[in-house]
Every structure is written in C-alpha cells, then in structure tokens.
C-alpha cells in the first residue's frame, strides 16, 4: 500500500503532493515502483494535528481518487469520515482505511456495510490532538487485541461482514515507542484474531529514534526508509495482508527477500 498524502501537514511529506496533479503523478510513480494499492488521504494524523473540515477533506481527496481510479489504479481512501468514504467509493475507491476503526464517525459502519468494500479498522483511542495522552496499557498486546476484537463485534453488529475487515494494530497511535516495538514483536497475536492484518510502521517516530542518543531529536522522516524496510521483513514473516509505506521499492525488495527465503525452505 503506497501512501499518497494530499495534505499540507503530514509528518513525512506534508505539502509535497498537496496539489491534485502532483498527488496523481506521485501515485502513478508508486504504481510503477510496484505498489498494489494507493492510499489517498486528506487528513494528517500526526500527533497534534488539527482536523480539516469535511468539505476541505473532500476537496483534497476526491479529484485524486477519481483520477487514479480512472487510470486503473486500485485505490484506498484514508479517512475517518463516513461522507468522505461514501463519496470516495463512488469516485472509484475500493478500500476504506479508517484509522479510528469506526469510532470517529458512527455513520462509517453503514457506509462500509452498504458498499461491500474492504475496511481497514485500526486500533485508535483519540484524535491526534489528544491521542498520546491515552498511551497507557496494562499489557499493550493484550489490550490492543481486546480493543480490536471489540471493534469487530461492533462493526459486525452494524452490518459489516467479517470478510470485509482488515485489522491494523495502530503503530504510533496512542502508543509510546516501547508499545510499538512490543506490538511488532507480537504480530502473531494480532494475526491470531483471524483477520488480515495491515502493518503501518513507515517512517514512524519510534523508528527515527534508533541509534540516536538519549535527548537528541529523532532522525528526519525521510531517513527512516531502511528501518521501515526491516519492519516490512518482520511483517512479511508474520504473514501480514499488507504494509503501508512511503517508499515502495525498499519494502518491495524486503518482501522479495521473505518470499525467496520461504520458497527455499
């Protein structure tokens, strides 16, 4: 899953693809590099980010979703809003990637159920402005798995079919670095819930702190692709359904390594 951020303030590439034509061109490059799915998002979810209005989010994503779909791309819309999801699906998207898992907008389940689209439900506790204050767990793996199971039960009660659902443990969302590392080390526990799993570690801050002295700032986001590729190997070995990445070639090579190794067993 290649990331197409149509935002001015995303943590890794805010503003770089903000104009629709630039976002479409970037998406096509990701396809050429081997992406299977393009994840188009118009709302930054970095810690502290303020939400755009619904109309602004629609203005950002719909032209990009429509044009990439017209050109034959398989498109995911990265949104927490039911109306944005509905209009993006009408414009050609086939996957809804909701970092709130349906908690941010109670109308999301009905949209997804009615469309039959794949639905990525991420572990989430609060919006970006408040999420890091919620990073408290008794056992992060157990707690995340329990909360994801609760989301599945609620979504299915609202008409979403189990076969539509993909789960995402939410690396970096209401999680400290130690929480993200523990989840990565126990992806098998998330897989054991019985659903496809999406891993979204790309360029996250916990990777930027690797090898950095205590008290120093993390490495810039664009310098975290090698570490991201290493996490892609872990995701591949765990049998993840997908990896959401900014730099496709390095993660594609990582998955090729996993596939070649598995074929040689």
pLDDT tens digits, residue range 216-231?
Answer: 999 999 999 999 999 9
Span 15-68, pLDDT tens digits: 566 689 999 999 999 999 999 999 999 998 877 778 899 999 999 999 999 999
Count the domains in the chain: 1
Looking up residue 79, the CATH number of its domain turns out to be: 3.20.20.20
Contact 187, 197 (CB under 8 A): yes
Domain of 129 in residue numbering reads as 2-263
Quote the tokens at residue 5: 């951020």
Residues noted as catalytic? 204, 244
pLDDT for 27 equals 97
Span 64-121, pLDDT tens digits: 999 999 999 999 999 999 999 999 999 999 999 999 999 999 999 999 999 999 999 9
Contacts for 121 with CB less than 8 Å, ≥ 6 apart: 98, 101, 102, 148, 151, 152, 155, 165, 166, 167, 168
Is the pLDDT score of 198 beyond 60? yes
């Amino acid at each position: 899953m290649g990331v197409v951020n149509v935002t001015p303030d995303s943590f890794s590439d805010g503003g770089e693809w903000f104009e629709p034509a630039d976002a479409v061109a970037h998406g096509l490059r990701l396809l050429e590099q081997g992406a299977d799915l393009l994840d188009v998002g118009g709302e930054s979810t970095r810690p502290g980010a303020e939400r755009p209005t619904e109309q602004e989010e629609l203005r950002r994503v719909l032209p990009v979703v429509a044009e990439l779909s017209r050109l034959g791309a398989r498109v995911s819309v990265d949104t927490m809003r039911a109306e944005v999801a509905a209009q993006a699906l009408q414009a050609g998207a086939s996957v809804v990637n909701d970092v709130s898992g349906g908690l941010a907008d109670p109308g999301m389940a009905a949209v997804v159920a009615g469309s039959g689209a794949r639905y990525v439900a991420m572990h989430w506790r609060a919006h970006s402005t408040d999420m890091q204050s919620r990073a408290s767990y008794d056992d992060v793996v157990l707690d995340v798995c329990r909360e994801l199971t609760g989301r599945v039960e609620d979504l299915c009660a609202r008409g979403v079919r189990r076969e539509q659902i993909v789960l995402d443990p939410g690396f970096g969302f209401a999680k400290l670095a130690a929480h993200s590392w523990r989840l990565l080390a126990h992806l098998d526990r998330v897989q054991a819930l019985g659903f496809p799993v999406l891993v979204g570690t790309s360029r996250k801050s916990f990777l930027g702190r690797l090898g950095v002295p205590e008290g120093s700032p993390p490495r810039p986001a664009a310098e975290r692709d090698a570490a991201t590729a290493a996490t892609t190997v872990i995701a591949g070995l765990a049998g993840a359904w997908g990896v959401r990445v900014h730099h496709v070639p390095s993660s594609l090579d990582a998955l090729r390594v996993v596939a070649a190794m598995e074929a040689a067993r």
